[in-house]
Amino acid sequence: MNVSLRLLRAFVAASREGHVGRAAAKLYVSQPSLSQDIRRLERELGVELFDRGPKGLTLTASGQEFLRAVESSLTILDRGIAQAREIAVGERPVVSIGYSPSLGNRLMPELLPVLEREFPSITFDLIGVDTGEVAEGVTAGRFDLGLEHGGSAAPELAMESLVDEPLVVALGTEHPLAGRDLIAVAELQGSELMIWPRDTAPEYYDRIFEFCAAGGLQIERVREFRRSMTRSYLFNEDDVFSILPLSASFLHLPGTTFVAVSDDHGTVPLASLTRAGDERPVLRRVAELAAQIGERLISAAR
């Protein structure tokens, strides 16, 4: 087949715009020229990529499948070109990784040196953000890869659950349950839950509430802070608790203790997020190493 990059980019533009005229304007070519390119591509492939109607173009089933493959391939190609140019001028390619707060305690400090040893020609930029901001950063292109608890089901993202991390309860050291090895969440009835605002990470927020309800704990009072652990002093001032991933227990906070939960399904997934179609091997390897280190840290903490 004689399929050039020009034909593929013409196809992607027409798919996104759903209209030959708008796609041609975006590519700065004439409408007849773009129509000819799309027809030429269809002849080379031997399939109809679009249904053509009075209101524009609609992808066929074959076209939808081909679009996914083409967008993935072009993303990899464009990044390869950019990295080749960086190397040519003596610059190291940069891979940016966004991560949620609790992962900065142990996982990220252990992951970074492993990455630097395995990929000495790449600079890894680690960026800690608030709960719920990881997916937004990956979608916007601020991060090449994100690591967070809970994950996001956004269609423009590819999410992979790496490891199920146990949940723990954060309490003040003077709390009556603080000296226990295990807590059933129902024992916290009447206490106030400290958690991030729902709109910052709705899937994760709902998962915590569903877990509490399954254990017989009806949450009646809530305090919401973007970074709840910066308010850990509230654990000893009031009857306040938080439910957090085990990663948070690696923090050394004065007046705070972390107790494991005995309830079933007391876990939250640690997930990796990339943009859909971005299948660079280095990102795959980052996720694999994060999963391995996460499993080891969980085993050591039990």
Of the candidates 294, 234, 236, 302, the residue with the CA atom closest to the CA atom of residue 102: 294
The model's confidence at residue 285, banded by pLDDT at 50, 70 and 90, is very high
CA atoms within 13 A on the CB side of 225: 14
User: Which residue is associated with the tokens 């906070």?
Assistant: 253
Neighbours of 31 (CB within 10 A): 14
The token duo for 176 is 């009556």
- Go through 117-142 and write b for each residue having 16 or more CB atoms within 10 A of its CB, e for each that does not: eebeeeebebeebebbbbbbbbbeee
Once rounded to an integer, what is the mean pLDDT over residues 42-60? 88
Q: pLDDT for 163-218, tens place per residue? A: 988 888 988 888 888 888 888 989 989 888 988 888 878 888 888 898 999 899 99
On average, the pLDDT of the chain sits at: 85
Question: Given a cut of 70, is residue 1 above it in pLDDT?
Answer: no
| Domains located in the chain, CATH noted | 5-88 (1.10.10.10), 95-161+270-301 (3.40.190.10), 163-268 (3.40.190.290)
Specify the pLDDT at position 89.
63
Pick 54 or 144 by higher pLDDT: 144
Q: Which residues pair with 147 in a beta bridge?
A: 99, 272
Residues with Cβ within 8 Å of 3's Cβ and at least 6 positions away in sequence, in order, are 41, 44, 45
Mean pLDDT, to the nearest integer, of 242-269? 83
Cα pseudo-dihedral 8, 13, 15, 17, rounded to 10: -170
3-state secondary structure of 170: strand
3-state secondary structure of 283: helix
Question: What CA–CA distance (Å, rounded) separates 183 from 169?
Answer: 8
Find tokens 């399929």 and name the residue.
3
Q: Helical H runs in 46-120?
A: 61-88, 107-118
For position 144, what pLDDT does the model report?
A: 92
Structure tokens at 289: 């190493």
d(CA 112, CA 135): 20
Angle at 95 between CA 301 and CA 116, to 5 degrees: 55
Provide the β-strand partners of residue 145: 97
Q: What pLDDT, on a 0 to 100 scale, did the predictor assign at position 268?
A: 85
pLDDT band at 93 (very low <50, low <70, confident <90, very high): confident
Give the Cα separation of 8 and 24 in Å (integer): 13
Centroid of chain to Cα 108:
15
248/272: higher pLDDT: 272
